[in-house]
């Protein structure tokens, strides 16, 4: 009964007062719900915009609350593209306090991560509806630049990769598993000594890291390549090398190199996998491309607004795009309305994630477009190469790295997070 009284009060007296204060003609019905937030819960940056929503409100029903408990309502400024820029105000929850704001193309806000293990935040929240306002055209972000392979021969593979993955029988077995599942994890991928040198180089204090947003789509740090030590530059060259394009073709059956067999070759009975030295060896039969696409996860959110790969690549030349990323507490990526999807191969290589617990977040989750159920989860794992083929009906995000991740500092005092090399390859 008391919930009904509250709803009636909001719909009648309060709505009339709010309409008078805001000079917005509000409809007599409202959306209303109750929410409970507990330790590590978070509601990331969003604008609340849906058809007809005009005023958002939150009624806090909390015990005595401090800023150190987390859970503040953070309000963002916006840039010239109507994208969230930075937090300009943080409101600490307080008992029997009602907060309201106008819903607009720039009403970006978040409920910061909850840090108290003993308190929970109860609230009643919702929206008053009214005449819709005109939304400006969506800003289209520039995608990460794509480039064809760079001319390095098979010697670069022998320099970096665990030799078991250069064996043609192993490659055939990997391809068979990949064609069945559209994903594979290759553990101990790099030579041990090379991996150790890579991790040491990532600790270099001279590397310049920049935050990548906007907050309604992503938050993590990316390395400025010009500031990288030589060892990391060479590894990026390896990831863009002609030899790796060919090796990935052998791992996956995709045509990422002109020596890789095409569908026409296989239809004619000529299916053979080229080895990294340019010779050829027998290759198991591939599934039809349509079957592979129907069952496969896909599209990285970290290359937003990407166009159709054939359009971008012009002649269909195999291309790649990628970056070196640093992940720490508070970082994430989100699925968003303007995220485009296409056929491509995702590559993730992880460093510095020893003793990383999935409870911390930071894993990459693939879901079907319009669905909530996960198709695949890729957890950070030491010296592990993850390959995932994706189609136009799959999207991905990196789970928010929560407060629990700070417990890892007890074992690794200098390790606040981990790194990954995130690349995408297009046929």
Q: Is the pLDDT of residue 310 over 80?
A: no
pTM for this one? 0.86
* 241, 347: one domain: yes
How confident is the model at residue 343, as a pLDDT? 93
Band the pLDDT of 301: cuts 50, 70, 90: very low
Q: Are 254 and 187 part of one and the same domain?
A: yes
Tell me the C-alpha distance between 198 and 190, whole Å: 10
Over residues 339-365, the mean pLDDT reads 93
Residue 311 has pLDDT above 60, yes or no: no
Preceding amide of 206 cis, omega within 30: no
Weakest-pLDDT range from 8-12, 87-91, 121-125: 8-12
Residue 176 falls inside a structural domain: yes
Query: What stretches of 145-194 adopt beta strand conformation (E)?
Result: 183-187
Residue 110 pLDDT level (bands cut at 50, 70, 90): very high
**Mean per-residue pLDDT, 79-83:** 95
**In this predicted model, what pLDDT tens digit does every residue of 166-207 receive, in sequence order?**
999 999 999 999 999 999 999 999 999 999 999 999 999 999
Structural domain harbouring 61: 1-129
For the chain, the domain total comes to 2
Q: What is the CA radius of gyration of the chain?
A: 25
- The C-alpha atoms of residue 247 and residue 166 are separated, in whole angstroms, by 8
pLDDT the model gives residue 263: 61
Same domain, 340 and 225: yes
| Assigned domain for 276 exists | no
What length is written for the chain? Answer: 427
Q: How confident is the model over 48-54, as a mean pLDDT?
A: 91
The residue from 76, 101, 129 where one domain ends is 129
For range 389-415, the mean pLDDT: 92
Q: How far apart are CA 261 and CA 283, in angstroms?
A: 10
Structure confidence by residue, pLDDT tens digits, 121-160 = 999 999 999 998 888 888 888 889 999 999 999 999 999 9
In this structure, are 324 and 211 located in the same domain? yes
The whole-number pLDDT of residue 282 equals 37
The verdict on 172 and 120 lying in the same domain is: no
* Residues 74 and 166 both lie in one domain: no
**Do residues 418 and 360 share a domain?**
yes
Is 24's pLDDT higher than 70? Answer: yes
Answer yes or no: do 125 and 151 share one domain. no
Pick the range with the lowest mean pLDDT from 170-179, 211-220, 283-292, 331-340: 283-292
Confidence of residue 304 (pLDDT cuts 50, 70, 90): very low
Conformation bin of residue 51: beta by default, left when phi > 0, alpha when psi is -120 to 50: beta
Q: What is the mean pLDDT of residues 98-109?
A: 96
Q: Quick check: 332 and 398 in contact, CB under 8 A?
A: yes
Residue 407: closest CA among 38, 39, 36: 39
Q: Worst-scoring range by mean pLDDT, 57-61, 304-308, 374-378, 379-383?
A: 304-308
Tokens of residue 269, six digits: 């009975």
With H, G, I as helix, E, B as strand and everything else as coil, classify residue 276.
coil
Rounded to an integer, the average pLDDT of 3-30 is: 93
- Overall average pLDDT of the 342-351 stretch: 96
Give per-residue pLDDT as tens, 64-73: 999 999 999 9
Q: Give the SS3 label for residue 416.
A: coil
Q: How buried is residue 267: exposed, middle or buried, by Cβ count under 10 Å (0-12/13-18/19+)?
A: exposed
Which residue, 96, 104, 93, is CA-closest to 49?
104
- Could you tell me if residue 279 is inside a domain? no
Instruction: Kindly indicate the confidence band of residue 55, based on its pLDDT and cuts at 50, 70 and 90.
Output: very high
Same domain for 154 and 120: no
- Quote the percentage of the chain above a pLDDT of 70: 87
Query: What pLDDT is stored for residue 271 in this prediction?
Result: 43
205 shares its domain with 232 = yes
Q: Are 92 and 67 in contact (CB under 8 A)?
A: yes
Looking at residue 2, what is its pLDDT? 84
Residues 357 and 214 in one domain: yes
Average confidence (pLDDT) over 27-45: 94
Tell me if 267 is assigned to some domain: no
272, part of any domain: no
Q: Is the pLDDT assigned to residue 418 strictly greater than 70?
A: yes
The string of DSSP codes covering 77-137 is EE-TTS-EEEEEEEE---TTEEEEEE--TT--EEEPPB--SS--EEEEEEEEE----PPPP
In whole angstroms, what is the distance from residue 25 CA to residue 20 CA? 8
Q: Identify whether 125 is part of a domain.
A: yes
Q: Is residue 406 part of a domain?
A: yes
- Same domain? For 195 and 344 the reply is yes
Position 269 pLDDT exceeds 60: no
Q: Which two tokens stand for residue 350?
A: 């992880």
In a domain, 159, yes or no: yes
Instruction: List the CATH number of the domain containing 188.
Output: 2.60.120.620
């Amino acid at each position: 009964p008391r919930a009904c009284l509250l709803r009636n009060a909001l719909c009648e007296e309060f709505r009339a007062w709010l309409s008078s204060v805001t000079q917005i003609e509000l409809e007599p019905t409202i959306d209303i719900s109750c929410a409970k937030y507990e330790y590590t819960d978070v509601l990331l940056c969003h604008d609340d915009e849906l058809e007809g929503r005009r005023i958002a409100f939150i009624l806090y029903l909390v015990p005595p609350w401090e800023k150190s408990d987390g859970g503040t309502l953070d309000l963002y400024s916006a840039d010239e593209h109507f994208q969230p820029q930075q937090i300009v105000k943080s409101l600490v929850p307080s008992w029997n306090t009602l907060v309201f704001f106008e819903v607009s193309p720039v009403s970006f806000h978040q409920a910061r991560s909850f840090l108290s293990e003993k308190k929970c935040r109860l609230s009643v929240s919702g929206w008053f509806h009214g005449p819709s306002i005109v939304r400006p055209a969506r800003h289209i972000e520039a995608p990460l630049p794509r480039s064809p392979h760079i001319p390095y021969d098979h010697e670069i593979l022998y320099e970096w990769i665990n030799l078991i993955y250069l064996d043609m029988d192993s490659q055939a077995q990997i391809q068979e598993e990949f064609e069945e599942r559209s994903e594979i994890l290759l553990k101990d991928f790099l030579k041990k000594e090379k991996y150790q040198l890579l991790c040491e180089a990532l600790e270099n204090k001279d590397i310049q890291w920049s935050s990548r947003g906007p907050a309604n789509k992503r938050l993590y740090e990316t390395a400025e390549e010009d500031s990288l030590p030589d060892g990391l530059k060479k590894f990026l060259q390896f990831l863009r090398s002609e030899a790796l394009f060919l090796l990935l073709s052998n791992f996956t059956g995709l045509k990422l190199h002109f020596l890789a067999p095409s569908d026409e070759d296989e239809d004619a009975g000529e299916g053979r996998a080229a080895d990294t030295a340019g010779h050829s060896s027998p290759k198991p039969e591939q599934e039809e491309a349509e079957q592979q696409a129907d069952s496969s996860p896909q599209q990285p959110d970290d290359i937003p607004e990407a166009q159709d790969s054939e359009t971008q690549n012009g002649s269909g030349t195999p291309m790649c795009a990628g970056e070196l990323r640093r992940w720490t507490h508070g970082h994430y990526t989100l699925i968003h309305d303007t995220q485009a999807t296409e056929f491509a191969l995702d590559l993730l290589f992880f460093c510095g994630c020893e003793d990383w617990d999935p409870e911390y977040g930071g894993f990459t989750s693939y879901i079907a477009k319009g669905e909530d159920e996960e198709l695949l989860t890729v957890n950070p794992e030491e010296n592990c190469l993850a390959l995932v083929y994706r189609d136009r009906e799959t999207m991905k995000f990196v789970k928010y790295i929560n407060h629990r991740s700070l417990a890892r500092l007890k074992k690794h005092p200098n390790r606040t997070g981990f790194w990954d090399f995130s690349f995408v390859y297009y046929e």
